[in-house]
Structure 1
């Protein structure tokens, strides 16, 4: 069988113009012509094209590709050696891509939740509390939700000063909640519920619209997930459970 230039372009995912160029420079001359003079490619031509595209994918210039294929066609190159060389080239390419993927993954982690700060800026803003520590869990739980998308959109625009202002609010809120617990205030008391409401509004202001239903779910997670529990209990032991109960009471108050 033979194939038209358009068919071969479709098979190979290249343009007709590319095939014309390969013909013009002698890299891939079709083995047949129709009565009207149109290019017709046979199976051997397709095999050669496959080799051309392989080397092009690896970044070889066209003149080097032509030399390699001519060596193979004239028998100057051992077919097994040729295959070994291809295997080595592919292995090297895979390793390079693996390193590139690792670099991209690292960059993704660096931008998780939109926190695009240098290590020094992160230390200045967050201290020893890594802002990405909870990001994986957050993405696993809510990655496909509109709330998560909204949070990503907002935080992507935040500057270091925005994060510092946000952290200052968190620190001030934590100090007041610590004092509230030290005074023996119950979770269902007015002061605790007011601070729970402030906590909900903080999320809405900085991240996404946090409904009372979402807030209750967050409260449960602050207790059930060790990473979140550790964060809140670092302010004061037992704060995670106290806040969870205050969030529940506040949601019921606004039901």
Structure 2
């Protein structure tokens, strides 16, 4: 059965304007367009739209979704199984949050002795899951499953004080990067060296072993992978490239 753009909009809960935009950028082309310019969609287009909505729900941007959907090795069943796995992870996270809230209530009533690790376990699990979803595939390809699993385990085992230090250091690095780019500093400057030293310290909190070569390899992903670049360039364009060049210059000396 084929649907007009209005009918598909009603079925999927997606505005006709959005569907036209998806057509314009090549994300979701209609099955055919009449001479009068009316778009019609078939079953295959409906399946693709469902996938787009699944990936959007998981936080993927449209550029990344398009890359996934139109790669040669994309299979609908594999994608659905991946969505199911991700949803089960989210379900487990919600269950963990519920448990944390319940334990906190009991602790405040004096009916349960809650330690600091339990208070923040669910939040650390969420951070690990988000990193796995966004960067896990690339990280595992480059560094192997064992290294990534070790990093995740280190995060989960962090005390609250160390976990706060880890995130504080991450924020400091991003702020210093933004300041350096805005001020026109060069990647071979002393300010850049300070950033690389802090970045190395941040990595060493979760890496099993640090090497300058691995540091340089990671920095290459910051500019070659759109997700990493977007993370560092979120508030100030040029930060990802600055960090990459600074690491290339200073990693062997820090």
Q: What TM-score, normalized by structure 1, do the two folds share?
A: 0.47
Higher Cα Rg, which structure:
1
